[in-house]
Structure 1
Amino acid sequence: MPPQYRYQQVADDLANRIRSGEFPPGSRLPSRAELCEQYEVSSFVADRVYLMLKMQGLTESLPGAGVFVKDSAPDQ
């Protein structure tokens, strides 16, 4: 198995947590600062994580409010 970038590892973990129901549709994901602390990553990595989740169709962001799990997250 080839090595993964840290942002990919964190995005995969959050995607799995979303799909398992730990973060149900409409729930708010941890803030950038919380994500940085929980996973011991930089804010750049946190931004990449949120971008990857958005590209997978799992999340949407609301400026000033945070990143939320989409109501119609795709099954994968």
Structure 2
Amino acid sequence: MPSMSDYLRISHEIMDDVRSGRLNPGDKLPSIAQLCEHYKVGASTIQQVYIRLEALEVIDRRQGKGVFVTDPATWMRKP
């Protein structure tokens, strides 16, 4: 079975961190360079993560400010 691509794996990890409360609404995510070092991937992979999470409304990217976690109620499916 093929393994999950890095950007999907990292996206899922960040979403799980939000669901579990390890990341809260308004929390600022680390810089791209910090995430590259943490996950041992290139900057383009983290850019893909940010594009995906922004499309899913999990994060809000603010020019010159950073990347912030949104309220999970806006994107999590209700049971």
Same fold judged by TM-score > 0.5?
yes
Q: How many residues are matched?
A: 76
CA distance in 2, matches of 1:20, 1:54: 19
CA distance in 2, matches of 1:52, 1:32: 14
Q: Where does the alignment leave 5 or more consecutive residues of structure 2 unmatched? A: none
Q: Where does the alignment leave 5 or more consecutive residues of structure 1 unmatched? A: none
1:74 alignment counterpart: 75
> Per-residue deviation at 1:2?
4.3
Percent of aligned positions with the same letter in both sequences? 34
Letter of the 1:27 counterpart: D
Measured against aligned partners, the alpha-carbon deviations of 1:8-52 in whole angstroms (never above 9, x if no partner) come to 111111111111111100010111011000000100001001111
Give the root-mean-square deviation of aligned CA atoms.
1.4
Question: TM-score, normalising length from structure 1?
Answer: 0.89
> Per-residue deviation at 1:73?
3.9
Higher radius of gyration, 1 or 2 = 2
Q: SS of the residue aligned with 2:54? A: helix
